[in-house]
Structure 1
């Protein structure tokens, strides 16, 4: 409907008015113009005029003032049409939008927030919807912010902070908390910070990579016989284990397909989490293998891993493996991109190009068990 178009325009002006309220600026008169699209029938004309007049300001009734202009229509003859609509006051605006109660609530909530910290005025003016959007959460947000602003939390875990909110509250509202803290503490909380832990130097839950000893004697020597364990990147950097080789696999299932091998540890790289395994002395001083899916992502991760560790050898990621499993080949959902992948060897590049030519992929789990065992025994 035509009137809906004007109401939609007023909604935008309402948001601007909220910004002015936050910044303690007076109401700004709003003027809307009648537009070029006119009615084509008498019935349509009368209906639209009625709708305009239904929202017209009169006596104690709030609404818009209508400035009429003469309109000479070939079809309808001499008529009157709204040239412009003027909204003079805040009361008129909220009446037209039916937001009287909402604005009262907005004012009350805004007052509470600014009484807590007036520095939030500019932050709220940039996104006034947050005043009511976060209404159920403001008390909790203020609790957390007050604690972070007044205590040194370096080295502490986020969920261990003694604040009166439930344990998931901080993580759930972390983007809002971080945005406010960047505004309040621009010198302390830098713009690149993507988490509260990073911003305040807090302890972070370690990312654990599943690992399995392929040599039981090493399990006895280093981990009291535990053959399956979890390793964090920081923990791996401190290891002084003497090993012959480490094999990194893309998927956890394949951690258990590897045969027992003297002097070797196998680690699941969790796909793209492989990037966290950088600057680890253990991986630099041993033979290093990588076994990933025969698809675009698998070769991309192999390429990136070899950039970190140039001596890494791939397992079952050459053209021979692709040719032996053409029946198991599927189509990957996304089309291969034209990637350079400069760190692939010639056999690896040949495999990648063969798959890319048909947009194909061969999952690790689809490799024939006998081929897998024979090849691994030969290489390892």
Structure 2
């Protein structure tokens, strides 16, 4: 094929242009809405000089388009004349016209998908049809679960705001695994966020309760001797009567388990960014609280979150002295933050600023687990 012929429009080029209407959902929506704007595509073809120099190539090009049109089943061809005084005039295809959606569906070979979409749309209740039209390909992708999705939609709509757990679903063929797998589809139909917690909260269903794990002197809560640790629902622990006189929140689980319990106090597992849960306990508001986390940017971001709930919190083992005493144990923080942390104490702000600006090393971090245990015990609350 000559360089000139390689630029001529091929049947594949025509299909590619039409496929754009399929990809954006237009050719599916028209199957139920019935409004179709014809698609006219100008064809790049041989010029007058090409007809003189490459007449065989031009003839093959035109015949390929004619065959691909399938006598108008895929598209119609509009012919025009090319030529002049030196070369006889010839009629060649000038435009391809897809005048009906049926032609477009046949050209792309998507008839089965269109029929399935029409069926899905017909089954959908009124509240779901807007979403189906906006996201036709997502609806097709969910076709295998369609009857279960609609059953779940009906049950959720009926039980919305009742404070029940989704696990209590009684819709035919529906379980919580189906709801989790198709949460994005259901969220779109229901007009709520698709995130797990936001989905549940927006619909007024019961959420998995937040919990707090802590170690304690049993006398702090009036427990019998022998109880030293527990995992409690946050709302229930928040209402407990506590005589704790001090508390220590620790980010890492292994360190939390090893740390000594302060006298008349409690040790709470912060669990990374979940540290906001123990920090929200009302009976901690009037007692001294210490927080120990990693010396890295996210460690101070968590400390900032804790201090936003408990302004009296002081950090422990997150200072320059601890950092430089463990230089040989420094590591690298993969994804540091540089967010503005407005709740830090001045001494914590200084360390955080040094980390953000790489003052002592690029993306520097000292993980809590790498702090010498003897060093730690000498500085933890007793």
Q: With the length of structure 2 as denominator, give the TM-score of the two structures.
A: 0.83
Answer whether contact 2:248 2:268 (CA < 8 A) is retained: yes
Answer whether contact 1:22 1:121 (CA < 8 A) is retained: no
Task: Give the 3 Å change call, closer, same or farther, for CA 70–136 of structure 1 in structure 2.
Answer: same
The residue aligned with 2:376 is: 372
Answer whether contact 1:13 1:30 (CA < 8 A) is retained: no
Task: Give the 3 Å change call, closer, same or farther, for CA 222–81 of structure 1 in structure 2.
Answer: farther
SS where residue 180 of structure 1 aligns? helix
* Equivalent of residue 167 in structure 1, options 164, 176, 181: 176
Query: How far off is 1:322 after superposition?
Result: 0.6
RMSD: 3.1
Structure 1 residue 200 and structure 2 residue 239: aligned?
no
Inter-partner Cα distance in structure 2 for 1:275 and 1:52? 67
Structure 1 residue 33 and structure 2 residue 36: aligned?
no
Query: How far off is 1:46 after superposition?
Result: 5.4
Inter-partner Cα distance in structure 1 for 2:164 and 2:63? 65
Give runs of aligned pairs for residues 1-380 of structure 1, distance below 5 A. 2-14=10-22, 15-23=25-33, 25-35=34-44, 42=54, 45=58, 48-58=61-71, 62-71=73-82, 82-113=93-124, 117-151=125-159, 154-164=162-172, 165-182=174-191, 195-213=198-216, 215=217, 217-218=219-220, 221-222=222-223, 225-277=226-278, 279-334=280-335, 337=338, 339-356=339-356, 357=358, 358=361, 359-376=363-380, 379-380=381-382
SS where residue 379 of structure 2 aligns? helix
SS where residue 69 of structure 2 aligns? coil
Q: Deviations over 1:276-310 (max 9, x none)?
A: 44643112022111111110100111122212211
The residue aligned with 1:186 is: none
Answer whether contact 1:250 1:268 (CA < 8 A) is retained: yes
Inter-partner Cα distance in structure 2 for 1:222 and 1:80? 98
Aligned residues: 361
Inter-partner Cα distance in structure 1 for 2:57 and 2:252? 67
**Where in structure 1 are there 5+ consecutive unaligned residues?**
183-188
Inter-partner Cα distance in structure 2 for 1:348 and 1:120? 52
Q: Deviations over 1:235-258 (max 9, x none)?
A: 232122110112111121211121
Query: How far off is 1:336 after superposition?
Result: 5.2
**Where in structure 2 are there 5+ consecutive unaligned residues?**
1-8
